[in-house]
Amino acid sequence: MPSRSPQSALSSASAPARLGLRAGIVWTFGGQLTYAAAQWGMVALLARLGSAADVGAYSLGLALTAPLFLLVGLQLRSVQATDVRAEYAFAQYFSLRVLGLGLGLALTVVLAALYPQARLVLAGLGLARVLEGLIDVAYGLMQQRERLDWVARSTMARGVLGLGLLGAAFALSGSVALGTAGIALANLLVFVLYDLPRTRVLDRGRWWTPRIPPGLLRVALPLGVVMGLVSLGATLPRLFVERELGTGALGVYSALAYVSVAGSVIVTALGTAVTARLSQQYAAGQRAGFVRLTLALTGAAALVGGGLTLLALVGGATLLRLLYGPEYASERVPFVWLMVSGALGYLASCAGFAVTAARRFTEQLPLFVGVTAVLALACVWLVPAHGLIGAALASLIGAGVQLLGSWGIVWWALRRPTPPASPAPPPQGEP
């Protein structure tokens, strides 16, 4: 059975109506807020019911699996969402994602051998990441068709159900590994019961093809490497803290850092909602509108980052005591620096959304190689000497380099002509 062509998929009369920009922002914000609150709730629950070492074991599993699965995932969701010319079929995106997830699962086994202290946690989180990857490629199609309400509902369900199942498993067993298995089960249930039916509405053709266009891989691979490096940049300070100070200190550091997730929720929601619109403006040569929307996004991010930094300065110790307990309240100074680093990271993310919307994927690779190298050197220099404060300062340095480099790419992209579309591949049939 031949697959439908991308163009016929986009022009299907049965496709549901698209959301407007405002509705997309509202839905995305609600979904991201709920999901981020659930993710923070997992850390807070482990801190309250367990120990800093339990938080550290969970955080170590996240730090090891996140860069890996972002790398093999090739950030196909962003490529899909900005594919306004419908150059590739959904089957090609889906098949490439499945192949990448198989590789990611195999590499998780290697990580489990290298980190035996986190073997069972890695098993649960590896399975959860595989299911998350399947969901994400469905989100890419939904985002491309501007059905961010579907994405948001699924994201909310995954967050709430994952928190509930992790909490129940950990409360009953005291095992972080069983808690991560609960997260995997939540992803499976939401994917089967919610995402699959709605993705079928948007694309009723076959989803598997062994023929992956080389052009798609050329476009996606640099962005996958970039996103892997971005995630590695977020996890490098954690890995250095675990190596230099132990799992308990990693648990404290991760709990402090999770507060900045509150700001990233807003920035990510806004950026996700406007990415398709930014991509349309850039493709149409509407440079003034592209710049205005990017600057508006950046201004909102600056307000969020400044507000969180002020909160940390004024009431950081009290907030940490309320969230996690007295063990964490004494870490006010690294907490403030982490909020400053997070604020700078929000601004860099805004420039990153603009770069992705302009489909300047290859240009990001040397930037993030440089960011990762600078961050690693800062961790080597600062973490052994200054502990948690040093890790926070290293993150701040990395965010500053990313911000400058990302805006440099935006400036360069605005001075270049709009890139032409690649030739659309023919419909894929059975082998």
- Confidence at residue 429, expressed as pLDDT on a 0 to 100 scale: 33
| Average pLDDT estimate for 39-68 | 82
Tokens of 110: 């290697």
> Model confidence over 72-87: pLDDT tens digits?
888 777 777 766 666 7
Q: Can you tell me whether residue 378 is helix, strand or coil?
A: helix
Q: What percent of the chain has pLDDT over 90?
A: 8
CA distances from 292 to 287, 297, 404 (A): 9, 9, 19
59-73, 151-165, 265-279, 288-302: least confident range: 265-279
Under the phi-then-psi rule, with left for phi > 0, alpha for psi from -120 to 50, and beta for the rest, what region is 174? left
Q: Where are the chain's structural domains? A: 6-414
> Is residue 19 very low, low, confident or very high in pLDDT (cuts 50, 70, 90)?
low
Amino acid at 86: A
Average pLDDT, rounded, for the chain: 80
Q: How far is the C-alpha of 32 from the C-alpha of 307, rounded, in Å?
A: 19
> Is residue 17 very low, low, confident or very high in pLDDT (cuts 50, 70, 90)?
low
> Model confidence over 155-183: pLDDT tens digits?
999 999 999 999 898 988 888 888 888 99
- Confidence at residue 420, expressed as pLDDT on a 0 to 100 scale: 47
> Model confidence over 199-236: pLDDT tens digits?
887 777 677 777 777 777 777 777 778 777 777 777 88
